[in-house]
């Protein structure tokens, strides 16, 4: 993370967008001059009608709202906003304060209450408290949701582990696209680490200080996914007495990860396509729109092109998300990364479960390296967890070693693999060398020795 990112995280005002609603030009001018040098965006409105129009064009972090204004009172309008699905944190300012006004402010959904006249440091401190409280509430909501989907004690890794050429190519691509907001599609078999790659991308980007919100597409029922994503007004559906901010709005400024996007229902696919094209959402049961500032990352273990041909996935959505396609390699192609991951899991799981540690002997390492790992990293983790629980490595669950009679000379194995690779890529020696992880000169030298 850069020095600029750290500075922005130190003072929440630097990334804040503020809306000032007050009929007095002098008060608006004082607040604008105080806040604009410190905040990312400061807009002003002279009445609730102008404020409502601004709220329909973008999302603000905090609204500073005067109570006594010509026409509709600030508190009455705020209560209407909350009923209509408005979630902007609000600081009420008023020259006429009494206990009943304070109670009404809390009931209407105000986050703080300041009496006029006030000094600049009072409003700045109130804004910082409001922003920090909102951040903590959002983090708490997202953490609770992640615990529900992950399970207690399970750590979500934020960076890819390994030094193999296969994973190094993935990391290089992720680092290259980290600073742009283009959608990324991460493909690969189940258990290859697609969500970890998405988190790796998020942590390398300029959005690292904002939320990373995973959406398990197959785990949310089709009839409620739009409520989950967009939020809703109070009473938008039976059993929803209170309004709720959606997952997309809660990730504002950060990254949303749609895991197994191929599991989305047709209606949810259509809705997501509109969001990707417009960059806006409308909470269910409201007439207001929210402008989004998000990075979208998707994953799929299915071939989405085949899903399009089968009619279960929209072709236009695939074209929209398939700008950058990153393929996660299966674990069997990652060489010594298998040992690095196994040792990491041994340490982590032993600590989480408070079990005695185990050391990987050479024979177990050999067995891990020769196994094909059809379940990829998830299978390896389960193997390590089971071994820790029983206090020993049960190698009978892994592929057995070859009988001595079936062992071939290394030169013969090498020749067979190279010739099979050349045949698979139509004789393209450069491509065969790339897939085998050797240089083109090595392939040329071997072929010359074999008279090819």
CATH code, domain with 245: 3.40.50.300
CATH number at residue 388: 1.10.8.60
- Judged against a pLDDT cut of 70, whether residue 9 lies above it is answered with no
| DSSP β-bridge partners for residue 259 | 216
- Looking at the structure, tell me whether residues 90 and 236 fall in a common domain: no
Q: Which domain holds residue 434?
A: 408-449
User: Residue 209 corresponds to which tokens in the numbers above?
Assistant: 């200080």
Give domain status of residue 142, yes or no.
Answer: no
DSSP structure class, residue 313: S
Pick from 329, 347, 368: which residue ends a domain? 329
In this model, does residue 404 exceed pLDDT 60?
Answer: no
To the nearest 10°, report the CA torsion of 393, 399, 402, 403.
Answer: 70
Instruction: Examine the pLDDT at 399 and tell me if it is beyond 70.
Output: no
Residue whose entry in the numeric block shows the structure tokens 């959904």: 109
One domain, residues 126 and 20 = yes
**Residue 160, by phi and psi: left (phi above 0), alpha (psi -120 to 50) or beta?**
beta
Q: Look-up: residue for tokens 């398939």?
A: 322
pLDDT over 60 at 7, yes or no = no
CA–CA gap between residue 136 and residue 115 (Å, rounded): 26
Burial of 276 (0-12, 13-18, 19+ CB in 10 A): middle
141, part of any domain: no
Same domain, 10 and 101: yes
Tell me the residue ranges of DSSP E strands in 89-228: 89-94, 112-115, 184-187, 212-216
Task: Tell me: do 303 and 178 sit in the same domain.
Answer: yes
Residue 285's pLDDT is what? 74
Average pLDDT, the chain: 85
Tell whether 318 is covered by a domain. Answer: yes
H or E element at residue 94: strand 89-94
pLDDT tens across 83-134, in order? 776 778 899 998 877 777 778 887 777 888 888 888 999 999 999 999 888 8
- Cβ distance 67 to 116 under 8 Å? no
pLDDT band at 209, cuts 50/70/90?
confident
Do the beta carbons of residue 16 and residue 61 sit within 8 Å? yes
Are residue 190 and residue 161 in the same domain, yes or no? yes
Give 282-309 pLDDT, tens digit per residue.
Answer: 777 776 777 788 999 999 999 999 999 9
Contacts of 289 (CB under 8 A, 6+ apart): 56, 57, 280, 281, 282
Q: Do 221 and 362 reside in the same domain of the chain?
A: no
pLDDT tens, position by position, 230-284: 877 666 666 655 667 788 888 888 999 999 999 998 888 998 999 999 888 877 7
* 263 in any annotated domain: yes
Q: How many structural domains are present in the chain? A: 4
- Which pLDDT does position 239 carry in this prediction? 61
Q: How many Å from the N-terminal Cα to the C-terminal Cα in the chain? A: 52
Q: Is the pTM of this model over 0.85?
A: no
Residues 198 and 308 in one domain: yes
Do 170 and 293 lie in one domain? The reply is yes
265/303 same-domain check: yes
Q: Residue 5 pLDDT > 80, yes or no?
A: no
Q: Do 166 and 289 belong together in one domain?
A: yes
**CA 262 to CA 218: how far, in whole Å?**
8
Same domain flag for 179 and 319: yes
How confident is the model over 41-69, as pLDDT tens digits? Answer: 999 999 988 998 888 777 788 999 998 88
Residue 4 scores a pLDDT above 50: no
Of 285, 304, 329, the position where a domain reaches its end is 329
Residue 245 has what pLDDT? 77
Tell me the two tokens of residue 250: 């809660």
CATH code of the domain containing 126: 3.40.50.2300
Last residue of a domain, one of 72, 98, 133: 133
Do 126 and 219 lie in one domain? The reply is no
Residues 295, 105: Cα–Cα separation, whole Å: 35
CA distance 248 to 256: 7
Please indicate, yes or no, if residue 140 is contained in any of the structural domains. no
**Banded pLDDT at 155 (limits 50, 70, 90):** low
pLDDT number for residue 243: 67
Give the pLDDT mean for 387-412: 75
Contacts (Cβ under 8 Å, ≥6 apart) of 105: 67, 75, 92, 113
What are 328-375's pLDDT values in tens digits?
A: 999 999 999 999 999 999 999 999 889 998 999 988 998 999 899 999
Q: Is residue 147 part of a domain?
A: no
Residue 145 in any domain: the answer is no
What is residue 153's predicted lDDT score, i.e. its pLDDT? 46
Domain assignment present for 144: no
């Amino acid at each position: 993370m850069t020095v600029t990112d750290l500075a922005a995280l130190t003072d929440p005002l630097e990334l804040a967008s503020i809306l000032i609603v007050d009929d007095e030009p002098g008060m608006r001018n004082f607040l604008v001059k105080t806040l604009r040098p410190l905040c990312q965006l400061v807009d002003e409105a002279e009445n609730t009608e102008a404020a409502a129009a601004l709220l329909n064009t973008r999302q603000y972090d905090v609204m500073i709202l005067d109570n006594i204004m010509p026409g509709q009172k600030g508190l009455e309008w705020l209560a209407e906003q909350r009923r209509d699905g408005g979630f902007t944190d609000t600081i009420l300012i008023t020259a006429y304060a009494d206990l009943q006004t304070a109670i009404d402010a809390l009931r209407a959904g105000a986050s703080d209450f300041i009496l006029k006249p006030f000094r600049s440091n009072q409003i700045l401190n109130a804004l910082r408290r409001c922003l920090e409280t909102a951040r903590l509430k959002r983090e708490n909501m997202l953490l609770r949701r992640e615990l529900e989907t992950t399970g207690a004690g399970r750590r979500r890794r934020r960076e890819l582990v390994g030094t193999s050429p296969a994973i190094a190519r993935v990391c290089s691509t992720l680092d290259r696209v980290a600073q742009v907001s283009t959608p990324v599609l991460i493909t690969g078999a189940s258990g290859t680490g697609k969500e970890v790659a998405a988190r790796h991308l998020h942590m390398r980007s300029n959005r690292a200080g904002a939320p990373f919100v995973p959406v398990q597409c197959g785990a949310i029922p089709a009839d409620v996914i739009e409520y989950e994503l967009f939020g809703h007004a109070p009473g938008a559906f039976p059993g929803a007495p209170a309004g709720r901010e959606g997952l997309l709005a809660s990730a504002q400024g950060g990254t949303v990860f749609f895991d197994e996007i191929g599991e989305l229902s047709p209606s949810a696919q259509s809705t997501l396509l509109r969001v990707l094209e417009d960059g806006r959402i409308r909470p269910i049961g409201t007439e207001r729109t929210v402008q989004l500032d998000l990075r979208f990352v998707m994953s799929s273990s299915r071939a989405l092109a085949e899903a399009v041909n089968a009619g279960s996935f929209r072709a236009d959505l695939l074209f929209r998300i398939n700008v950058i396609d990153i393929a996660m390699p299966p674990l069997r192609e990652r060489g010594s990364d298998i040992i690095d991951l196994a040792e990491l899991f041994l340490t982590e799981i032993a600590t989480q479960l408070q079990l005695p540690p185990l050391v990987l002997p050479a024979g177990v390492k050999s067995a891990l390296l020769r196994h094909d790992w059809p379940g990829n990293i998830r299978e390896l983790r389960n193997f390590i967890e089971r071994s820790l629980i029983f206090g020993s490595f049960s190698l009978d669950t892994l592929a057995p070693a070859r009988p001595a009679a079936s062992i071939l000379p290394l030169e013969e194995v090498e020749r067979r693999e190279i010739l099979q690779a050349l045949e698979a890529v139509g004789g393209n020696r450069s491509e065969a060398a790339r897939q085998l992880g050797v240089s083109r000169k090595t392939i040329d030298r071997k072929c010359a020795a074999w008279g090819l």
